[in-house]
Structure 1
Amino acid sequence: MTTVVISAYRTVKFLEGGGHFWVYMQYVEGLRQAGCQVYWLEFVPREGPWQEMSRIESWLGRLKRYGFEDKVILYTEAPGGQGTGYEYLVSSRSEAQEVFKRADLLLNFHYAIDGEMLAGFRRTALVDIDPGLLQTWMSTRQVPVLPHDLYLTTGETVGTPAAPFPDLGVEWVHIRPPVCLQRWPYIFDARSKEFTTVTNWWGGWETEMLDGREVLYDNTKRLSYLAFAELPRLTSQPLELAVHMSAEDAGDRQRMQSHGWRLRHASEVSRTPEMYRSYIQRSRGEISCVKPSCVKLRNGWISDRSLCYLASGKPVVMQDTGPNPYLPFGKGIFRFSTPYEAAEALATVNADYETHCLAAREIAETYFDARQTAERILNIALA
C-alpha cells in the first residue's frame, strides 16, 4: 500500500475555519480512494496559544471524525530553537521518523517547511494552492521554498507565457484542485433563496514588480467586495456574505448593507467542517469575488470553496481570474468582471435553475473528482 504524508498548513491555528480544513481533506479523501494510507503532518509555532491542550484536543477530535485515528503527527520547534530539532506534540519522535522513512511521498502544502524535516522523506512534492502569489513570494524571497522533487500547481497559467509572473526556472505540473464527491453529494432545493459565500474581509498587502522596483498593493477581499457593493441593486436575487468582520469594520458593514448585501459572521456558519458543508448545501449558489492578486496575476484559478458549491449542485458566479481552457463557463459556472455581468449571470441561472444545478454537479464530476486528481499526482510523483 502506498503511504503518503500530507503536510497541511495552519489548521490548528485556524481551528474555527471549517472551510480551511476541507482544503486538505479533499486531497486526503482522493488519496484514500486511490488506495493510499495517509498521515497528517502539521507544524505549529512555539509562540502563541496554538499549543494549548484544549485546542489540540479539539483539533484531534476533528481529525478523528474524518478517519485519522493514529495517523497524526504534530510538531513544533524544540526548546531553544536554532537548529536543535523538533518537539513532537502528537506521536513520538521515533514513531514520526518511522513513518517518514517508509513514506512513498510527502505532499507538502507548507511552503516554508524546514529543511531537516523535508530531508526525512525520499520523495517530495510541493503543492501550490496560491498560484501567482507563491511564485512572487519565491522570486522576492518572502517565502524560502526549498527544493522539492516535484512542483504541482492549481493555477492554469503558472509556467506558461500567459502568466505575468516568473516561473523561476521550475517545471510546474498542472493539477486540478479536488473535491470529494462522496463527502459533497448533490442536493437540489428549488426553494433555497440566497446566493452566498464564506470569506475573509481582511488579508494583507502583496508585492509586485514595477520597472524593477517592488511595489506594495492592497490584496484584501475587502477591496474586492467594496468594488461590487452596488451589485444587489442590480438584481432581485438575495446575496449573502458569511464574512469574518470585527467591530472596527462597522463602517464597511453599514456600507455593504445599505446596498442590499446580507451579512453574517463566518463563525456562525463555518466554525466546523460540518457547519461549513451544511451552509453551502442550503445555499442557492455561490457569488464570489476574489483577491485582487487573482485578477492582477491572471492565474486561471478556481477556489476550493467554489468546488464544494459545484459538487453540491449549486451554480457558481465567480469573478474572472484569467484564462481557463477547460471550464465550460456559461452553464453551471459563470464569471464576471463588472457588477452588470454578475447580475446578468444571476438572472441566467434563475431562468433555468435546475438545469444549472445539474450542470454544476457535472462540472465537479468531470473535472474535479478527488480520486482523479490523486491518481494524477501519484502517477507523476511515483513514476
Structure 2
Amino acid sequence: MTGGGRSGRVVVLGITAQYPMAGVTWQAMHYLAGLRALGCDVFYVEDSGAPPYDPASGGVAIDPSPNVAYLATVMRRLDLAERWAYWDAQRDVWHGLDAPQVRALYGSADAIFNLCGATRLRPEHRQGARLCYVETDPIYEQMRVANGDADSIAFLAEHDLLFTYGELLGTPSCTVPVERFTWIPTRPPVALDEWAPRDPGTAYRTIATWENKGKNVEFRGETYQWTKHLNFLRMIDVPRQARTRVELAMDPLDAGVRADLETHGWTLVDPRPISADVDAYRGFVEGARGELTVAKDIYVRPRSGWFSDRSVCFLAAGRPVVTQETGFSERVPSGRGLLAFATVEEAAAALRTVEGDYASHARAAREIAAEYFAAERVLGAMLDAAGIG
C-alpha cells in the first residue's frame, strides 16, 4: 500500500447528512481526511435524493435544515467548508455548492467514491471520472447477484471499479460465489491522528444498532440475517464467564431481552447521546478498556473477511479489540491487540488473555491500526487500483 504526493480530484458520495449519526460520520471523515492527507483535491457530495433521517423521532425528517447544519459543521471541522454539497430533492434545493458547480465538479473529477452505495448514479456522474463503488457491507450484493437480482446487477454495472470490505470474497475460504463482477478487497481506513491512546477505562464497550431489519437474504435454501442481535444473544454469557465489565451502547426495545442481557453481566448504555455527537462517540471509544463485539450473521457464516469501521477506531485509540471471527484473521493477524473468537468460551478466554498483559495488548492494538488500517495506506491502494495520481 502506498501514500503521499497524490494530485487527483476525488469526490466522495456519502450519507452523513442523511443519517446524522456519529458512527456513520466518522466513516466518511476517515475517507475525507485520509484522501486529503494523501494530497488529493477532495470534495463531499450528497445527492441521492433520499429523505433524511430524524434521530429524535426515529423517522423521516420533515425539515432537512438540522441535517444540513450537521453536515456543514462536519465539513468545517475537516477544513472543507467550501467543498461540499447537499441536494434536498423534496424541495429541489442545493446547499453548499449549487447544481451547476456540482455538475462541473463531476466533470473535473478523476474519481468518484460511492461510499456505501449511497447514490444511484445518473448521467451527470458519468463525465469521465472513475466511478468506484465502496462496499462496506459485503455478501448482500454478491448473494443477490448470484440469485439473478436484476436491480443489484444493474446498480453494480454502473461502476468502473468495485471495492469491498469482504476481503475473502473470491477465495476458497468464502462460501459465496463471485459472479459477473470483479471485486477488489479493501478494508476500513482510520485517520490515526484523530484517535489518541490515553489511560484506559474499566469496561469493555461497543456501540451499534441492536436489530437491523429489511436486508436479510435467502440464498441456496438458507436465510442470512443482516443483523447483529442474534450473535449477541448467542454470546450472552461472555461477560459472566470472563468476569469482565462490558457496556453495550444499544437499545433493545424488548424488556425481556434487556433484563436477560443485564442478568448475564451486560451494562446497557443509552446510545443516543453518543451517536449524536462525533466527540462524544470518540470519548466513548477512548474511554473504554477495549471493545467486545460480534458481527452480523451475513458476514460470519459465509466467512466474508469483513472488519468493522468502528473496531478500527478502538484499535487506533490503543484499545484491544475482541471480536467475532469473519475470516478477517486470514488477512490481519489475531492474537495480540486484536483477538478473534467463534464461541463463548473463546471470547471469554480472549478477554482473560488481554487482561493478563493489558499494556502489551494495548500497544499492539495501535500498531495493528497503523500497519493494516491507516487511512493513507488503505486509500493509497484504492487510488492505485483506480489509476489516480
Q: Same fold (TM over 0.5)?
A: yes
Which residue of the partner structure matches residue 83 of structure 2? 71
Deviation for aligned residue 1:276: 0.7
Task: Give the AA of the match of 1:108.
Answer: N
Structure 1 residue 193 corresponds to structure 2 residue 202: yes
Structure 1 residue 105 corresponds to structure 2 residue 114: no
Equivalent-residue separation in structure 1 for 2:33 and 2:110 (angstroms): 17
Which residue of the partner structure matches residue 283 of structure 2? 278
Equivalent-residue separation in structure 2 for 1:171 and 1:219 (angstroms): 23
Residues 294 and 324, structure 2, Cα contact 8 Å, conserved in 1: yes
Structure 1 residue 8 corresponds to structure 2 residue 14: yes
Equivalent-residue separation in structure 1 for 2:51 and 2:372 (angstroms): 40
Which residue of the partner structure matches residue 228 of structure 1? 235
Residues 128 and 151, structure 1, Cα contact 8 Å, conserved in 2: yes
Residues 83 and 96, structure 2, Cα contact 8 Å, conserved in 1: no
Q: 1:45 to 1:316 in 2, by over 3 A?
A: same
Q: 1:135 to 1:117 in 2, by over 3 A?
A: farther
Deviation for aligned residue 1:185: 2.4
Name the stretch that deviates more: 168-177 or 371-380: 168-177
Equivalent-residue separation in structure 1 for 2:157 and 2:269 (angstroms): 40
Which residue of the partner structure matches residue 82 of structure 1? none
How many residue pairs get aligned? The number is 368
Q: Secondary structure, in 3 states, of the residue corresponding to 2:159? A: coil
Deviation for aligned residue 1:46: 4.8
Equivalent-residue separation in structure 2 for 1:177 and 1:227 (angstroms): 26
Deviation for aligned residue 1:327: 1.7
Which residue of the partner structure matches residue 249 of structure 2? 242
Q: TM-score, normalised by structure 1?
A: 0.90
1:53 pairs, out of 65, 77, 87, with: 65
Deviation for aligned residue 1:35: 0.2
2:189 pairs, out of 168, 173, 178, with: 178
Equivalent-residue separation in structure 1 for 2:120 and 2:146 (angstroms): 17
Residues 270 and 279, structure 1, Cα contact 8 Å, conserved in 2: no
Equivalent-residue separation in structure 2 for 1:229 and 1:301 (angstroms): 22
Which residue of the partner structure matches residue 55 of structure 2? none
Which residue of the partner structure matches residue 83 of structure 1? none
Alpha-carbon displacement from aligned partner over 1:93-145 (angstroms, at most 9, x marks no partner): 11111111111110112525133243244221111111212322444436433
Q: TM-score, normalised by structure 2?
A: 0.89
The percent identity for this pair of structures is 30
Residues 19 and 276, structure 1, Cα contact 8 Å, conserved in 2: yes
Structure 1 residue 31 corresponds to structure 2 residue 31: no
Q: CA RMSD in A?
A: 2.0
Q: Secondary structure, in 3 states, of the residue corresponding to 2:133? A: strand
1:331 pairs, out of 333, 336, 355, with: 336
Q: 1:323 to 1:315 in 2, by over 3 A?
A: closer
Equivalent-residue separation in structure 2 for 1:22 and 1:106 (angstroms): 19
Gaps of 5+ in 2: 1-6, 53-59
Alpha-carbon displacement from aligned partner over 1:219-255 (angstroms, at most 9, x marks no partner): 322211111111222022101101144xx42221111
2:264 pairs, out of 235, 243, 259, with: 259
Alpha-carbon displacement from aligned partner over 1:190-230 (angstroms, at most 9, x marks no partner): xx21000011111025113225xxx5444322211111111
Equivalent-residue separation in structure 1 for 2:63 and 2:44 (angstroms): 17
Equivalent-residue separation in structure 1 for 2:219 and 2:144 (angstroms): 11
Deviation for aligned residue 1:156: 1.4
Equivalent-residue separation in structure 1 for 2:286 and 2:328 (angstroms): 28
Equivalent-residue separation in structure 2 for 1:220 and 1:18 (angstroms): 19
Task: Give the AA of the match of 2:172.
Answer: P
Gaps of 5+ in 1: 80-85
Equivalent-residue separation in structure 2 for 1:323 and 1:238 (angstroms): 26
Alpha-carbon displacement from aligned partner over 1:29-74 (angstroms, at most 9, x marks no partner): 1111110111111134258426522331122122222222111121
1:91 pairs, out of 97, 122, 137, with: 97
Residues 44 and 50, structure 1, Cα contact 8 Å, conserved in 2: no
Q: 1:129 to 1:342 in 2, by over 3 A?
A: same
Task: Give the AA of the match of 1:96.
Answer: V
Q: Secondary structure, in 3 states, of the residue corresponding to 2:157? A: coil
Residues 205 and 291, structure 2, Cα contact 8 Å, conserved in 1: yes
Structure 1 residue 123 corresponds to structure 2 residue 130: yes
Equivalent-residue separation in structure 1 for 2:66 and 2:275 (angstroms): 20
Which residue of the partner structure matches residue 155 of structure 1? 166
Q: 1:51 to 1:116 in 2, by over 3 A?
A: farther
1:297-316 mapped onto 2 (5 Å cutoff): 297-316=302-321
